[in-house]
Structure 1
Amino acid sequence: MTQDLRLAIAAELSRSRSRTALLTGAVDDDDLTRQHSPLMSPLVWDLAHVANQEELWLVRDVGGRDPVRGDIDELYDAFKHARRDRPALPLLNPAEARAYTAQVRDKVLDVLDRVRFDPAERLLDGGFAFGMIVQHEQQHAETMLATHQLRTGPPVLTASPAPAAETAMKDEILIEAGRFVMGTDTEPWALDNERPAHTVDVPAFWIDAAPVTNGDYLAFMDAGGYDDPRWWSERGWAHRQNANLQAPLHWIRDHNGWLRDRFGRIDTVRHDEPVVHVCYFEAEAYAAWAGKRLPTEPEWEKAARFDPATGRSRRYPWGDDPPGPRHANLGQRHLGPASAGAYPDGASPQGVHQLIGDVWEWTSSGFHPYPGFAAFPYREYSEVFFGGDYRVLRGGSFGTDPAACRGTFRNWDHPIRRQIFSGFRCARDAA
Structure 2
Amino acid sequence: MRTKLGVLAVTTAALAGGVLTQTDQAEASTPNVVVDSLSVSAGANGQSKATATVHSARTIKLQALTVAVRSADGSNNDFPGATATTLGPRSATFTSGSRTFRPGSYTYYVAYKVRDHWYSVSPVKSFTAGIGSTVTPTPTPTPTPTATQPASSTPTTTAPSTPAATPPSTTAPSTTAPTSSAPATPAPTTPAPVSSAPTTPAPTSSAPSTTAAGPVGIPGTWHQVFGDEFNGSSLDGSKWNSNWFGCSGCVTKPPNSAEGSAYSPSQVSVADGSLHLKLAQQPTTVAGKTYPYVSGIVTSNNKAQFTYGAFEARIYTPSSGSQMANWPSFWADGQNWPTDGELDVLEGLGGSACYHFHSTAGGPGGCASGTYSGGWHTFGAEWKQGSATYYYDGKQVGQITTGITSSPMYLILNNAINPSHSGTNIAPADMMVDYVRVWQH
Do both proteins adopt the same fold according to a TM-score greater than 0.5, normalized to the shorter chain? no
TM-score category of the 2 structures, normalised to the smaller one: under 0.3
Point out the structure with the larger helix share.
1
- How does the TM-score come out when normalised to structure 2? 0.27
- How does the TM-score come out when normalised to structure 1? 0.27
